[in-house]
Amino acid sequence: MLRGASGVAQGTRIRVKLHPALRRAAATTEAEQELCLPPGATVRHLLEAFDLVHGEVGLVVVNGALAGEAQELPDGARVELYPVFSGG
């Protein structure tokens, strides 16, 4: 499993915004945080880095566009994670 490690010199730097319902996974109360993942990391790697239960995240936005789990994360990407939702 990958772990976010701020300060790693070479890698994919991303900025992640978590919906409040997902912040437990980031072990933070901060809405946003920076991570550095190995080069070539995908959305799936990012979700694994946060220990999220598979299926807990319903929507991933990368640089303003919807993204699937296989999408590679470009360096400097801004990622938003939202919980799966239905009903109301």
Partner 1 sequence: MDRLGYRGKILWVDLATGAVRVDEPRPEFYRTYLGGPGVALYYLLKNLGTDDPLAPGSMLVFAPGLLTGTPAPCVPRYTVCARSPLTGALGKSESGGYWGPELKRAGYDAVIVTGRAATPVYLWITRGGVEIRDAGRMWGLDTGETEELIRADTGERRARILGIGPGGENLVRFAGMVSDLTHFNGRNGLGAVMGSKNLKAVAVYGSQSVPVHDRDQIREIARWAGEHCREHPLSRALHEHGTPLGVETNNAGGCLPTNHWSRGVFDGAAEIGSERLTAELLVERGGCFACPVRCKRVVEVKDPALRVEKRYGGPEYETLVALGSNCGISNLKLISKANELCNRYTIDTISTGMAISFAMACYERGLITKEDTGGLELRFGNEEVILSLIEQIAYRQGFGKVLADGPRAAAARIGRGAEKLLVEVKGQDVPMHDPRVKTGLGLQFALSPNGADHWFAQHDPFFNTPGSLGLAAVAPLGILEPVHALDLGPRKVRLVLYTSFLNAMYDCLGVCVFGAVARSLIPVNHLVRLVKAATGWETSLWELLKAGERANTMARLFNLRHGFGPEDDSLPEVFFKPLAGGPLDGQNAIDRAAFARAVRLYYAMAGWDAETGVPTQGKLLELGLDEFVGG
Cβ count within 10 A of residue 57? 22
CB of 62 to partner 1, least distance (A): 10
Tell me how far CA of residue 26 lies from CA of 10, 22, 23, in angstroms: 22, 7, 5
By the rule CB under 8 A, 71 interacts with partner 1? no
Q: Identify residues 2-61 at the interface with partner 1 (CB under 8 A).
A: 19-21, 24, 52-56, 58-59, 61
Residue number with CB closer to partner 1 (7 or 87): 87
Tokens matching residue 88: 């109301």
Question: Does residue 40 contact residue 70 with C-beta atoms inside 8 Å?
Answer: no
Please give the residue ranges that form the binding site for partner 1 (CB under 8 A): 19-21, 24, 52-56, 58-59, 61, 64-66, 69, 80, 82-88
